[in-house]
Structure 1
Amino acid sequence: MRLLPWTSDDGKPCYLSTDNPHSRLSQLADDIEAAQLASAEQVLAGARAVLEDAKAGERAVRFALTRAVESLGDVLRVAVSRGGDTGVR
């Protein structure tokens, strides 16, 4: 069973049961995971820039933190999907 990089409409995890890593759904999940990881790199760079800016206001810091939390959730889901046990539930 593979944890997919998206949730159902009610927020529950979605899983894929297949032995074919080349199925359309497996490839879609791979593509989305790659996009999530690339996005996380950009969010990290942006958050670092905000933290380094002594003039950054509360709104900028809150925005950066919100995006960082979203990205961290995505990255943890990818880690679990790829067999890592993050200990986070």
Structure 2
Amino acid sequence: MSGRLLPWTGADGKPCYLVGDGAGHVSRLADRIESVQLGMADGLLGHAADLLAEQRLTNEELRYLARRLSESLTDVRRVAESRGARIVRNE
């Protein structure tokens, strides 16, 4: 049994892992949070496409959008790493 990378970090910014069979409360919470993170990323991409199509964004607005996209990409990468590691273990 190895650890599952959770979709959040600790107070110090380091990754958090869960050791278990994947059937407990924390695993279900992590699944729900991953789902929310992926949904938010999808919504943000749509919003970004709409904003960028307007071609009237200020530098401040572009920087704000870039920061949110970067945060979202970090979340999505963590979800992908976690799910990828679990697929490899289950094969």
TM bucket (normalised to shorter chain) is 0.7 to 0.9
1:22 maps to a residue whose letter is A
Residue equivalent to 1:76: 77
**Residue in structure 2 matched with residue 48 of structure 1 by the alignment:** 49
Which residue of structure 1 lines up, in the alignment, with residue 13 of structure 2? 11
TM-score between the two structures when normalised by the length of structure 1: 0.88
* Structure 2 portions without partners, runs of 5+: 86-91
Whether the 8 Å contact between 1:46 and 1:64 is mirrored in structure 2 is: no
Residue 51 of structure 1, CA deviation: 1.2
- The letter for the 1-side match of 2:15 is P
Sequence identity, in percent?
47
Higher relative contact order (CA 8 A, sep 6+): 2
> Which structure 1 segments of 5+ residues have no match?
85-89
Q: Structure 1 stretches (4+) deviating beyond 6 angstroms?
A: none
The secondary structure found in structure 1 opposite 2:75 is helix
Higher helix share: 2
Letter of the structure 2 residue corresponding to residue 30 of structure 1? D
> What TM-score results when the alignment is normalised by the length of structure 2?
0.86
Aligned-residue RMSD, C-alpha = 1.0
1:22 Cα deviation (Å)?
A: 2.2
